[in-house]
Structure 1
Amino acid sequence: MNTNHIIIKMVLDRWYGSVTNFNKILDSLSDNQLQKEIAPGKNRGIYLLGHLIAVHDDMLILLDMGEKLHPELNEPFIKSPDKTAIAIPSAPELRSFWAKQCDVLQQKFSNLNTDEWFAKHTAVSAEEFANEPHRNKLTIIITRTSHLQYHSGQLVLLK
Structure 2
Amino acid sequence: MEITIKMILSQWQLAIQRLSATVDELTNEQLKKQVANDRNTGVWILTHLIIVNENILKVTGFGEPKHEALAEQLANGKQPDTNELRTTWNETNERINAIIANVSNEKWLQKHTSVSEEDFEKDTTRNNLMIVFSRLLHMMYHAGQLGLLKTKK
TM-score, normalised to structure 1's length?
A: 0.91
2-structure distance, mates of 1:16, 1:114: 17
Mapped pair 1:138 → 2:125: no
Aligned to 2:11: 14
Instruction: Please give the alpha-carbon distance, in whole angstroms, between the structure 2 residues aligned to 1:115 and 1:142.
Output: 16
Native 8 Å contact 2:73 2:80 kept in 1: no
1:155 is aligned to 2:110? no
Tell me the secondary structure at the aligned position of residue 158 of structure 1.
helix
Query: Normalization by structure 2: what TM-score?
Result: 0.94
Number of residue-to-residue matches in the alignment: 150
Report the residue type matching 2:103 in the other structure: L
Q: Does 1:107 align with 2:98?
A: yes
Give the C-alpha shift of residue 53 in structure 1: 0.4
Per the alignment, in what secondary structure is the counterpart of residue 149 of structure 2?
coil
1:122 is aligned to 113
Deviations 1:23-72 (A, max 9, x none): 11000001111010101111000000000001112111011012111011
Q: 2:36 aligns with which of 39, 48, 54?
A: 39
For residues 108 and 63 of structure 1, what CA distance do their matches in structure 2 show? 11
Q: CA deviation at 1:126?
A: 1.2
2:45 to 33, 44, 48: 48
Two-structure CA RMSD over aligned residues (Å): 1.1
Deviation per residue, 1:4-29 (Å, 9 max, x gap): 21011110111111111101100000
Equivalent AA in structure 1 for residue 135 of structure 2: R
Residue in 2 aligned with 1:62?
A: 59
Structure 1: where are the runs of 5+ without partners? none
Give the deviation of 1:88 after TM superposition. Answer: 2.9
Give the equivalent residue in structure 1 for 2:82: 91
* 1:76 shift after superposition: 3.5
Q: Structure 1 segments of 4 or more deviating over 3 A?
A: none
Identity in percent: 35
